[in-house]
Structures are given as C-alpha cells and as structure tokens.
Amino acid sequence: MIELINIHKSFGSQTVLNGLNLTIPVGKTTAVIGPSGEGKSVLLKHMIGLLQPDQGDVLVDGKSIVGLRRSQLNQVREKFAMVFQNAALFDSMTVYENVAFPLEEKTSLSRSEIEERVAIALQEVGLKKVNHKYPDELSGGMKKRVGLARALLLQPQIVLFDEPTTGLDPVIRRAIHQLIKETQEKFGFTAVIVSHDIPDIFEVAHHIAMLYHGEILQFGTPEEIQNSDHPVVRQFISGSLDGPINSGVA
C-alpha cells in the first residue's frame, strides 16, 4: 500500500502540493486526474522517492521512504515499475535487448530463460516479430507496448503510469487502456495512472483521485466522480469553460 500523508512540496515560491493526503488501494487501479500543471507528475514522483516532500510522509507497505539512503531506496524501488510518457526505450538497443535489459541486470537467469520470458512478455502485450527492430522503427503505440512489456517482466507489485497514452490516436489509446486493464486484472498489481483521458479512464480505473490546488479534492469510484456535486470536479470532467477552473488561456 502507498500512503501519502500531509505532503507539502514547493519549488521556490511555487507551492505544488499543499497538505495532500492519499491512500492508494492495493491490487487496484487508481487514476490521478486534474488540470495541467497541478502536480500530478510531482505526486507520482513522491511515491517512488524521485522527489522528497518538504513536509509530510510517504509510506510504502507501512514503511516511510522519506529520507532513505540510496541503497535502502533502491530496495523499496524493486517493488515498483514505472511506465513513462515516452516509453523511455534505449534507441540504440533492439526491442529484444530493451525488454531483456532488466532481467540481465537484476537476475541471474540463463540466456535461454531470458529469451523465453521476453517472448512471453512481448506476446502478452500483443507484439509479434519485432524482436530485431529498433524503437525508431516502431509506431508510438508499439513503443508503449514494449515499455509495458519491460515494466511487467520483473513482476512488480506496483506499476506507476505517467500519461501512458499521450500522443496516441483514439483507437490505439483505447487499445493501450484495454491492455493496462487486462494486465492489471491478470497480475493483480497496484496501479497508479496519471491521465488526461476523460472519459476513457473511468473504464480503466477502480478509483479516481482528483488533484486540485495541491490537495486531493475528491477520491471515489468512477461512478462517484462522474456524479460529483463538486463544481470543480463537474467542470473538469465535462471540459466546460464555465466554472471555477481558470484555463489560463485568454
């Protein structure tokens, strides 16, 4: 379980998180939504110790990860996998080499065992005959699938997705969402997804956390969020220009 307790985070004079509390349910998918620039990525980075809070605590399975030494933090991070916006593949490596990389680095599996696991992982994300291709020979959707295959290979307990469908067309976006949903159900990991995909994300996540002005304004099931009475939540999910949220565009 990940618990964020009274998190405060500022960059210079800009306060981004302002006493934020959030508990991520185990074995479920939680989506973090909210206007651009409100701190969704900053929040995700606190969960894995890439950023430290100015105040407050982050607990992973009941233990604080704030102020840990690098070696201790690396141990905690073994529970996690992170799927970045751009899939973060190594351009000079083939798809096979990219996916095999964590197994070669972190396990003592034999070459044939690694080959077998990579083949299964690529099959699981619906990729065929791409082993020898390089990332720049793949479409955006295929790259995301490779990133997901690599993330799942070490069987993480927790998978963090930072806007996993950015830049994809609506059909591929749906396919990636479907894949995240299916793999989460199959492996049962705890997932946290930062997403702008409304209303699609309501079909993927079990819980939605709406971030606004440095706090979680509302946490609930997709149904509860869709039926929210809160004017900010209502405006945000309907994409209306009228309401308390200022788009910042004149």
Ligand X SMILES: Nc1ncnc2c1ncn2[C@@H]1O[C@H](COP(=O)(O)OP(=O)(O)OP(=O)(O)O)[C@@H](O)[C@H]1O
- Does position 11 interact with ligand X (CB under 6 A)? The reply is yes
In the list 42, 208, 210, 217, the residue contacting ligand X (rule: CB under 6 A) is 42
- Does position 13 interact with ligand X (CB under 6 A)? The reply is no
Total of chain residues touching ligand X, rule CB under 6 A = 9
User: Residue 208 has which token pair?
Assistant: 């939605």
- Does position 40 interact with ligand X (CB under 6 A)? The reply is yes
Distance, first Cα to last Cα, the chain: 42
Given the rule CB under 6 A, which of 39-47, 129-137, 147-155, 229-237 is the region that contacts ligand X?
Answer: 39-47
Interface with ligand X in residues 133-172 (CB under 6 A): none
In the list 2, 4, 7, 16, the residue contacting ligand X (rule: CB under 6 A) is 16
Please tell me whether the peptide bond between 244 and the residue prior to it is cis, using omega within 30 degrees of 0.
Answer: no
- Helix, strand, coil share (%) of the chain residues, nearest 5: 35, 25, 40
Binding mask 18-37 for ligand X (x = CB under 6 A): ------------------xx
Asked whether the CA dihedral 52, 53, 57, 60 is positive or negative, the reply is: negative
The answer to whether the CB of 45 falls within 8 A of the CB of 207 is: no
Residue 51 C-beta: closest distance to ligand X, Å: 7
Of the pair 13, 155, the CB lying nearest ligand X is at 13
Write the DSSP symbol of residue 120: H
Let me know the angle formed at the C-alpha of 209 by 182 and 200, rounded to the nearest 5 degrees: 45
Of the pair 11, 90, the CB lying nearest ligand X is at 11
Residue 193 C-beta: closest distance to ligand X, Å: 12
For residues 143 and 234, what is the distance between their CA atoms, to the nearest angstrom?
A: 34
For residues 205 and 195, what is the distance between their CA atoms, to the nearest angstrom?
A: 10
For residues 85 and 166, what is the distance between their CA atoms, to the nearest angstrom?
A: 6
In the list 39, 135, 141, 222, the residue contacting ligand X (rule: CB under 6 A) is 39
Residue 187 C-beta: closest distance to ligand X, Å: 26
Helix (H, G, I), strand (E, B) or coil at 23: strand
Residue 203 C-beta: closest distance to ligand X, Å: 20
- Does position 195 interact with ligand X (CB under 6 A)? The reply is no
Of the pair 39, 164, the CB lying nearest ligand X is at 39
- Does position 41 interact with ligand X (CB under 6 A)? The reply is yes
The answer to whether the CB of 19 falls within 8 A of the CB of 8 is: yes
Of the pair 38, 197, the CB lying nearest ligand X is at 38
Closest CA to 18 of 38, 3, 33: 38
> Would you tell me which residues interact with ligand X (CB under 6 A)?
11, 16, 36-42
